[in-house]
């Protein structure tokens, strides 16, 4: 038997499934947005963008590690 959601209904919709299915899009948006926000709050735009990129990459990588199953050696 196949489960289905009726028309005009959110029955069966789950945030976790949406998040997993859209992780690449979310990650790309954060990759651009985090450095921009961090660089706007720092004095120098060049150093701000560099620091923002490094911090943003760290946050995204740790988030990805947390949500994915990783085979450790």
Token pair listed for 4: 């289905």
Look up the domain containing 32 and give its range.
Answer: 19-67
Residues whose CB is less than 8 angstroms from the CB of residue 48 and which lie 6 or more positions away in sequence, other chains included: 35, 38, 39, 40, 41, 42
Look at 7-16, 37-46, 56-65 and tell me which has the smallest mean pLDDT: 37-46
11 located within any domain: no
pLDDT in tens, 25-47: 888 888 777 777 766 766 566 66
Whether 9 is in a domain gets the answer: no
Q: Structurally, how many domains does the chain consist of?
A: 1
pTM, full prediction = 0.52
What pLDDT, on a 0 to 100 scale, did the predictor assign at position 1?
Answer: 72
Note whether residue 10 is domain-resident.
no
Local confidence band at 65 (pLDDT 50, 70, 90 cut-offs): confident
Whether residue 32 lies inside any domain: the answer is yes
């Amino acid at each position: 038997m196949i489960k289905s959601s009726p028309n005009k209904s959110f029955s069966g919709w789950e945030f976790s499934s949406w998040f997993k299915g859209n992780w690449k899009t979310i990650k790309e948006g954060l990759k651009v947005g985090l450095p921009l926000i961090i660089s706007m709050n720092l004095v120098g735009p060049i150093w701000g963008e560099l620091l923002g990129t490094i911090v943003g990459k760290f946050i995204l990588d740790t988030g990805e590690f947390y949500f994915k199953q990783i085979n450790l050696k």
